[in-house]
Structure 1
Amino acid sequence: MKETLYFYNSNSKKLTERYEKADVSEVQKLLLQTFEKNSNLLEIGCGSGRDASFMTRNDFNIIAIDGSKNMIEEAKKIHPELSNNLFHKTLPNNLEFDKKFDGIYSIATLMHLSKIDLEETILKIHDLLNSNGKFLMSVSLFRDDIDEHGFDDRGRYFLIMSLDEWINLLEKIGFKILEAKTNSDGLSRDGIKWLTLVGQK
């Protein structure tokens, strides 16, 4: 995770510009369908603040976190309306809040964790949800740009698991799977396929 965070801290400005242009209309549509208006949501791995801003404009109450301090600073610059709701927290150790949430979502973040850290993070997500709260996650299901150890040429780590492995992990922790869908890449990269899962506590 350390090498991955180094990449995001070192390239935060360029990445922010790129993320703001990505076509994530399918995932954002699913976010609107999954969570009830005016509910209190936590976003894990907010990056440029793109989705947190989108959800705020659509009448959701958002707290958003990211493991990269520099990404948080860039997000505050381009989405000043989020400034008081963006926080630097790393996974899994800093995922602590003194409140619970109606819903939690994480787009393109959890696949950067090791299996051990991933399981601990999803356990914490389950604990942070109110009764019947929903969790939406989007991760890369396949990538052709990583080596046999899961690293790309920029030093970022990606955990690749099958659809069944992701579903089994969520169910083991106590989530009921409501939806599972795969989709192509929002930045039009041919060798990357994404998985979006929605679970309920």
Structure 2
Amino acid sequence: MGSHSASKARMQHTDDATLNYYREHAREVFERYEAVEQSSIAAHFLSSLQPNSRVIDVGAGSGRDLRKLMELGFDAYGAEPADELRQLAIDKHPQLKDRLFAGSLPGGLTTYRKYDAVVCSAVLMHIPPNQLFDAILALRDALNEQGRLLISIPATRPDIDENHRDHNGRLFSPVTPDQLKLLCKRLAFECIAEHINDDALGRSETTWHTLLFVRQ
């Protein structure tokens, strides 16, 4: 791929139909997330991230994980592409005002600083497969050397059709832990931990893989 084509690819954003769902159903999504005290990935924050790290939560949603990171003493920030969802989070939790900003993968994550860690929970499955490399590259570019990348992806999702979409039209690209580890290895990440978690929203048919990488 030439430099112009690569640049164009990096300017692409999250799947439009998926983003539109989160924008049009922002309040419903916000209230659903807020009803759960803690996400599955949050259980791994203290064991996975260095104390007092500067962390960015990519795909911050309602800001639930961002607030948890702040409560645990991390210098935490968040990026969320759905304007409506982001505004609801700031309105309900004013402490997020200067910490939650617009940003999406793969091409819309513009950061003006480097972070010690990136949290990316339930996001990568919404990225079209041909953009996944650029998405991981964007996450790597946001990290300091030896920075940590904590990712969760669905292990099982039985409600997906042959086009890899759910009944709401959201994209759920099939990404396995082995595929993710191979891709991250190409981008100089080492996988140092892996877990399987139940779904925080109580969906018995859905489980999650959580993987921890370190940038080499």
- What's the TM-score once normalised by structure 1's chain length? 0.95
Corresponding residue of 2:111: 97
> Could you tell me which amino acid in structure 2 is paired with residue 138 of structure 1?
S
Q: Which residue of 2 aligns with 1:163?
A: 177
Deviation of 1:128 after TM superposition, in Å, equals 1.7
What residue in structure 1 maps to residue 11 of structure 2? none
1:30-179 equivalences in 2 (<5 Å): 30-179=44-193
Deviation string, structure 1 residues 95-147 (Cα, Å, up to 9, x no partner): 12221111111111111001122210111211221111100011112200110
d(CA) in 2 for partners of 1:69, 1:128: 21
The amino acid of 1:70's aligned partner reads: E
Q: CA deviation at 1:153?
A: 0.6
Q: Indicate if the aligned counterparts of 2:18 and 2:171 stay in contact, CA closer than 8 A.
A: yes
1:39–1:103 contact (8 Å) kept in structure 2 = yes
One-letter code aligned to 1:126: R
What amino acid is the match of 1:96? T
What residue identity is the alignment partner of 1:114?
Answer: P
What is the alpha-carbon distance in structure 2 between the residues aligned to residue 23 and residue 152 of structure 1? 25
| Matching of residue 20 in structure 1 with residue 24 in structure 2 | no
Give how far 1:21 is off.
2.1
What letter is aligned with 1:146?
I
> Structure 1: how far apart are the matches of 2:26 and 2:16?
15
Question: Which residue of the partner structure matches residue 3 of structure 2?
Answer: none
Deviation of 1:25 (Å): 5.4
* Equivalent AA in structure 2 for residue 124 of structure 1: A
In 2, are the aligned partners of 1:141 and 1:160 still within 8 Å (CA)?
Answer: no
SS of the equivalent of 2:98 reads: helix
Q: 1:25 to 1:73 in 2, by over 3 A?
A: closer
Q: What one-letter code is carried by the residue in structure 2 that aligns with 1:162? A: T
Percentage of matched positions with identical amino acids: 30
1:149-191 CA deviation, whole Å, 9 max, x = no partner?
A: 1111101001112221121111121110011111221112122
TM-score (norm 2): 0.89
1:53-73: CA deviations, max 9, x gaps? 111111111110111111100
1:187 corresponds to: 201
Query: What's the RMSD between the two structures over aligned residues?
Result: 1.3
SS of structure 2 residue aligned to 1:84: coil
Alignment partners' CA distance in 1, 2:128 and 2:38: 25
User: What SS is found at the alignment partner of 2:97?
Assistant: helix
Distance change (3 Å), C-alpha of 1:195 and 1:144: same
Distance (Å, rounded) in 2 between the aligned partners of 1:146 and 1:112: 12
Which amino acid is the alignment partner of residue 183 of structure 2?
Answer: L
Cα distance in 2, alignment partners of residues 177 and 84 from structure 1: 32
**Counterpart of 1:145 in structure 2: which amino acid?**
D
Residue type of the partner of 2:131?
Answer: D
**Aligned AA (1:147):** D
- The alignment partner of 2:137 has SS state of helix
